[in-house]
A and B are shown apart, each in its own frame.
Chain A
Amino acid sequence: MTRSQTNAVEVRGLVKHFGETKALDGVDLDVREGTVLGVLGPNGAGKTTLVRCLSTLLVPDAGTATVAGYDVVRQPRQLRRTIGLTGQYASVDEKLSGFENLYMIGRLLDLSRADARRRADEMLERFSLTEAAKRPAMNYSGGMRRRLDLAASMIGQPAVLYLDEPTTGLDPRTRNEVWDEVKRMVSEGVTVLLTTQYMEEAEQLASELTVVDRGKVIARGEVDELKAKVGGRTLKVRPVDPEQLPAMAAALRETGLDGVAGATVVPDEGALYVPILADEQLTAVVALLGARGFGIAHIGTHLPSLDEVFLAITGQKTADSDEFTEEVAA
């Protein structure tokens, strides 16, 4: 990892336990100024706890963390001036209109009445909420609410923005809208720490990735590096007869093709997962399976899911799913 710039966020050995649960168990990470770090992990990996520690909502048990040079424990007041937070659940007041929400935040950030009003109007305009400005937020759609939430976080022009699973629970179209907004904010120089469960989201928004599981960092690197490791796209093949799965995997392994040779059988799904590094490989795999006379019931490609990322990185599935048979060279 090249580190040419200064870090906006530095986390060292961060620990937070809730009774027996080690939500954070010694996490290290850096977010370079002006970049997006994706923190990828399943439910319960400690992502939200991390964000809550970095936004002064929780006091860590051990370790240090600085944001924009301010220590989360010793300088919480200064730190709060530099951050914005958009959580999994919209942190706006549902009974207030979009305008009133933003105006209130402007006032809480010490803008004058006139400035707060102007800034609220600007943000409404920018996040395409002008038409809905006077309606109570409870009548907004999920996507509008999330946009209002982002607008609220941007009122104070934060140096560092935390996005805690910003698109969880949104439909694909709305998700794209939120992504576009985030990209725009990043283009304006905001540093973002993004937590997500979706590889696709990380790929869309982040330049670097930190993969966490059960409170620990299990992999880190540039998104492209990790993608190469994970294999980018995956082809999922379900044969008519699941008995043929091992034979199919063996046939693909014989090809010796990078990626394709890493074909993995997932018995509980009755499917074969084949990493695909290039379009030609896709054709080759389908041709080969056809030539060998395997009956195929279903075929499809998709970007790696979190499970597959974990599979590739650790050779294990996420904590939720326990069944796994074949080894994968990581």
Chain B
Amino acid sequence: MSTTTVTKSPVGTPDPTPARPHRADAEGRIGLRANLRHIGALARRNALQIKQDPESMFDAVFMPIIFILLFVYVFGGAISGKGNNDAYVNYVAPGLMAMMGMNIAMAVGVGINDDFKKGVMDRFRTMPIARSSVLIAKIVVEVGRMLVATAILLGMSFLLGLTIHTSVLHLFAAIGLSMVFGASLMWIFILIGLTVKTAQAVQGMAMMVLMPLQFGSSIFAPTATMPGWLETFTDYNPLSNLADAARNLINGGPVAHSVWMTLGWALAITVVTAPLAVSKFRKKT
């Protein structure tokens, strides 16, 4: 496979830096370590973008605050009885954790769509890096944003009276589960972001997916009072599964079914949409 090896040593100015090291094998494949380094460099780029444009953190910072206040004080009394807002915090906060992930994932789609309008994507795609690393780096940083949103949500919830009935470990498990599921959702939105033309269209399409999943779920209210067909839908709605899992991890209760369902959904979504997204990214002109 050794055709011509091109080594170009510039004459003229002396060049102290060694020529580009060829870490890949003759086929040009990229090893795991190199791949991780590339993801790191690209994640740093995404993080620096946030630093340069702090307003892009508004959703992650304010959304959880507004949502928890709104739901606890507007619906809390109605659902749990007047003066019982405290009890509702314990119901809705784990559910909102699930919702945060969904909303942040939507922003990823918009971001990717926007990114593609810039020449820098062309540069990435003409460089000897795995093309998936650009997308994975984005997800890494967005999971970080999700963590910030979740931390703020939990902080607010504690102020409003959230109590952990299990253990800190259970709480971390709930957070971890939300992250895993949120990351899988990001692939869907990346795929949408790469498929439709404008950022507005991404938003429009995302809302179509988002609204029924969010409200047709156990996030805000128990499903028992819903009509049978809706109850069936909510029972299979991955957001319900995640909300139930997080709720039971925090409040105590059976977790096995909802945790496995959530992980199953996350795996299924990733397996189906991640390769589609990477291939779309590769072929995008």
Q: Could you list which residues of chain A lie within 8 angstroms of chain B, going by C-beta atoms?
A: 8, 52, 55-58, 68-70, 75-78, 80-83, 85, 87, 89-96, 100, 104-105, 107-111, 115, 118-119, 122, 126, 136, 149, 152, 156-159, 184, 187-190
Interface string of B33-74 (1 = CB under 8 A from A): 010011011101100110011000000000000000000000
Residue B227 at the A interface, CB < 8 A? no
Please indicate the chain A residues that have their CB under 8 angstroms from the CB of B126 in the complex: 55-57, 80, 83, 85
- Chain B contacts for A122, CB-based, 8 A: 15-17
When distances are taken between beta carbons in the complex, the residues of chain B under 8 Å from A80 are 28, 126-128
B119 touches A96 (CB 8 A): no
Chain B residues within CB distance 8 Å of chain A: 3-4, 6, 8-13, 15-24, 26-30, 34, 37-38, 40-42, 44-45, 48-49, 52-53, 118-129, 285
* A-B CB contact pairs (8 Å), 16 listed: A55-B122, A57-B126, A78-B26, A85-B126, A89-B119, A95-B49, A95-B53, A105-B127, A107-B38, A107-B41, A108-B38, A110-B37, A115-B18, A157-B20, A158-B8, A188-B13
Q: How far is the CB of B145 from chain A (nearest CB, A)?
A: 16
Question: Which residue in B8, B41, B44, B53 is a CB contact (below 8 Å) of A190?
Answer: B8
Residues of B contacting A100 with CB < 8 Å? Answer: 45, 48
- Whether the Cβ atoms of B120 and A91 lie closer than 8 Å is yes
Shortest Cβ distance from A71 into chain B, in angstroms?
9
Residues of B contacting A159 with CB < 8 Å? 6, 8
- Let me know if B19 and A157 touch, CB within 8 A: yes
What chain B residues lie within 8 Å of A156 (beta carbons)?
20, 127
Shortest beta-carbon contacts, A-B, top 10: A77-B28, A69-B4, A91-B119, A107-B41, A188-B10, A91-B123, A78-B28, A89-B119, A68-B6, A95-B52
Q: How far is the CB of B23 from chain A (nearest CB, A)?
A: 5
- Which residues of chain A come closer than 8 Å to B6, judged between CB atoms? 8, 68-69, 82, 159
Given the contacts A77-B27, A96-B52, A159-B8, A104 and B45 also touching, CB distance less than 8 Å: yes
Given that A56-B126, A83-B126, A157-B8 are known contacts, is A110 also in contact with B23, CB under 8 Å in the complex? Answer: yes
* Interchain CB contact under 8 A, B10 and A107: no
A189 touches B48 (CB 8 A): no
Minimum CB distance partner of B130 in chain A: A77
Q: Separation in Å of the A20 CB from the closest CB of chain B?
A: 16
Counting chain B CB atoms within 10 Å of each CB, the highest count among A85, A108, A118, A184 belongs to A108
B3 touches A70 (CB 8 A): yes
Q: How far is the CA of A220 from the CA of B189 in the complex (A)?
A: 47
* A96 pairs with B49, CB closer than 8 A: yes
Q: Give the chain A neighbours of B122 by CB distance below 8 A.
A: 55, 57, 85, 87, 91
In whole angstroms, what is the CA distance A85 to B28 when docked?
Answer: 19
List A contacts of B120 (CB < 8 A).
91-94
Q: Are A110 and B53 neighbours in the complex by a CB distance under 8 Å?
A: no
A70 to chain B, nearest CB (A): 7
CA distance A158 to B9 in the complex (A): 10
Known: A57-B285, A80-B126, A81-B20. A108 touches B48 (CB 8 A): no
A165 vs chain B, min Cβ distance (A): 12
Q: How far is the CB of B53 from chain A (nearest CB, A)?
A: 6
Taking the closest CB of chain A, its distance from the CB of B11, in whole angstroms, is 6
Select one of B4, B16, B21 contacting A111, CB under 8 A.
Answer: B21
Give the residues in chain B near A126, CB-CB below 8 Å: 13
Known: A68-B4, A69-B4. A95 touches B37 (CB 8 A): no
Is the beta-carbon distance between B127 and A77 smaller than 8 angstroms?
A: no
Contact residues in B for A55 (Cβ distance below 8 Å): 122, 126
Residues on A with C-beta less than 8 A from B44 are 104
Q: Tell me if B49 and A93 are in contact (CB < 8 A).
A: yes
A10–B122 alpha-carbon span in the complex (Å): 22
**Complex interface: chain A residues within 8 A of B129 (CB):** 108
Q: Are B125 and A188 in contact (CB under 8 A)?
A: no
Residues of A contacting B8 with CB < 8 Å? 157-159, 189-190
Given A107-B37, A108-B127 in contact, is the A115-B11 Cβ separation under 8 Å?
Answer: no
B21 touching A110, Cβ below 8 Å: yes
Most buried by A among B42, B121, B129: B129
In the complex the two chains form, what is the Cα distance from A70 to B128 in whole Å?
13
Q: What are the residues of chain B within 8 A of A158 when measuring CB–CB?
A: 8
Closest residue of chain B to A8, judged by CB?
B6
Query: Shortest distance in angstroms between A154's beta carbon and chain B's nearest beta carbon?
Result: 9
Extra 8 A-B pairs, beta carbons < 8 Å, given A57-B122, A156-B127, A157-B19: A69-B6, A92-B120, A94-B118, A96-B49, A104-B41, A107-B37, A188-B10, A189-B8
Chain B residue numbers with a CB within 8 Å of A105 are 123, 127
Q: Is the CB of B21 within 8 A of A108?
A: no
A68: which B residues are within 8 A, CB to CB?
Answer: 4, 6
Contacts of A95 in B (CB 8 A): 48-49, 52-53
CB <8 Å contact, B16 and A118: yes
Shortest Cβ distance from residue B122 to the other chain A in the assembled complex, whole angstroms = 5
Chain A residues in 8 Å Cβ range of B127: 80, 105, 108-109, 156
Check B45 against A96 for contact (C-beta < 8 Å): yes
Write the nearest CB–CB distance from A132 to chain B, whole angstroms.
Answer: 15
A123 to B217: give the CA distance in the assembly, Å.
55
- Chain B: minimal CB distance from A117 (Å): 10
A321 to chain B, nearest CB (A): 29
Minimal Cβ-Cβ distance residue in B for A184: B12
The reply to whether A81 and B45 form a contact with Cβ atoms under 8 Å apart is no
